Homo-oligomer: A and B are copies of this chain.
Amino acid sequence: METSYRNLNLPVRTLLGPGPSNVHPRVYRAMTTPVLGHMDPKFLEVMDEMMELLRFVFQTRNTITLAIPGTGSAGMEAALVNLIEPGDGVLVGVNGYFGERLSAMASRHGAEVRRVEAPWGQIVEPDQIERALAARRAKLVAVVHAETSTGVLQPIKPIADACHRHGALLLVDAVTSLGGSPVPADEWGADVCFSCTQKGLSAPPGLAPITVSDRAVAVTSSRRSPVQSWYLDLSLITKYWGSDRVYHHTAPITMLYALREALCLVHEEGLEPRWRRHQALSNALIAGLNALGLPILAPESHRAPTLTVARIPEGVKDIAVRTTLLSEHNLEIGGGLGALKGQVWRIGLMGESCTQANVLLVLSALESALGRQGWRREKGAGVMAALEALA
C-alpha cells in the first residue's frame, strides 16, 4: 500500500456541453439521503411517486413509465431490444450520430434495418417515412427527437400519424429534449419514448426515464422469443416497479433520490414556463452566435431549444478554443461528433445550465477566445445581441 489517494479535488465547471448539465444544490442534497433497501416499503412509495412525476414530464398516462437502471443509451437499448425480434423490419430515421446509434443497435438485436436518411443538420422529412412505410411494412419506426450531434429538432407528430396509418410502432429518442422542450408522448401517440437524467432534467447521469404505450406492452407480451437482454427486459423490470414488487435488480437508490428531486424542481417550475425559459435563452444564444459570425447548423424552423450547434469559422482551431474556455473560464462546451468532428461546437442550455448568466458567459468567453485566433467582430457584439433578444 505505497500509493495514497487524496480527497477528490475537482474544478467547478459551468456545463454548457451536450450534457451533463449543472445540477441544483437540492439534488446534491437529496443524494445524501441515507440508502434504503430496494424492497423497503418506504422506498417502494418513493418509486410510486417517481412514476407519477415521470408521467408528468412525459405528459402521458402510460402505466409503464419508469427509470431504466442505466444511462440514456441503456434506455435506447431497452426500447429497441424489448420490441424487436430477430427478422423484424425496423425503419430508422438517420440524420445524425444518434440515428446511426439507433440503427446499429437495432441491427445487433437482429432487426432488418431500413434507413431513411437525411443530411446531418436537416430533419428527416415525414414524407420520406410515409413513402418507406407504404413501400414495405415495418414493425417499428425509430427516430430521434432532438439530434444531439446537430441540434436539429425533428417534427414527431406527422411521423406518428404515418406510423398509425401503416400499423407501425413508433419509438422516439427524447434524450436531449425531455425537460427542455415539449415531449407529449400521448398527444404524439408514441409507443416508446426514452430519455436521460443529465440534460433537460439536470440530475447526474445514470438513469434512463422511459414510457411505454399499452400497444407496445401488448407487442412485448406476445413475443415469440425471449428478450435478448435479461437486464433490460421490461417485463421483469415492470414486475419490480409495478404492484407485483418482484425483485429483479437492486435499484440504484441514490440516483433515484436524485432524479426524484430533479423532477420535483421541474414540477415546481411547471412544464410550460420551463419550455419558455429554454426557448427564450436559446433564441438569445443564437442571436449572440450570429453576431459573432458563427452560423447555426440547423434550419431556423427546426432547432432544439436545448442544444445549439454552430459552425466553427474557417481558420479557427476547435481544440484551442475549447481548451481556453475550460482552463480559463471553467466552461465546457461540446465539440463535433462523428462526421462533424472539428467543424462545429455544441452549446447546451439545459435545465439548471439554462440561465441568462450562462448565455452571457459563453458569448463573452467565445468572443475572447476567438479574438486570439484572429476572428474578431465588433466589441461585445455577441453579448449585446443576446441582451437585445431578451429585452
Q: Interface on A for B, CB 8 Å cutoff?
A: 1, 3, 5, 8, 10-13, 15, 17, 19-20, 22-23, 28-38, 40-43, 46, 49, 52-53, 69-74, 76-77, 81, 101, 104-105, 107-109, 196, 198, 204-206, 226-232, 247-255, 257-258, 260-261, 264, 267, 270, 326, 332, 337
Contact = CB atoms under 8 A, between A and B. Distances in A.
B23 A38 contact: no
A34 B10 CA distance: 8
B13 A34 contact: yes
Given A69-B206, A249-B71, A104 B8 contact: no
A88 to B, nearest CB: 15
Given A69-B70, A69-B74, A253 B20 contact: yes
Contacts of A73: 230-231, 248-250
Contact of A249 (B72, B81, B264): B72
Interface of A is mostly: loop
Contacts of A332: 36-37, 40
Contact of A40 (B13, B28, B74, B257): B13
A38 B204 CA distance: 11
B198 A10 contact: no
Contacts of A109: 228
Contacts of A30: 8
Given A5-B267, A71-B250, 12 more contacts: A1-B267, A8-B257, A11-B42, A13-B40, A22-B34, A29-B32, A73-B250, A76-B231, A77-B231, A108-B230, A206-B254, A231-B232
Contacts of A36: 10-11, 13, 15, 20, 332
Contact of A260 (B8, B22, B74, B227): B8
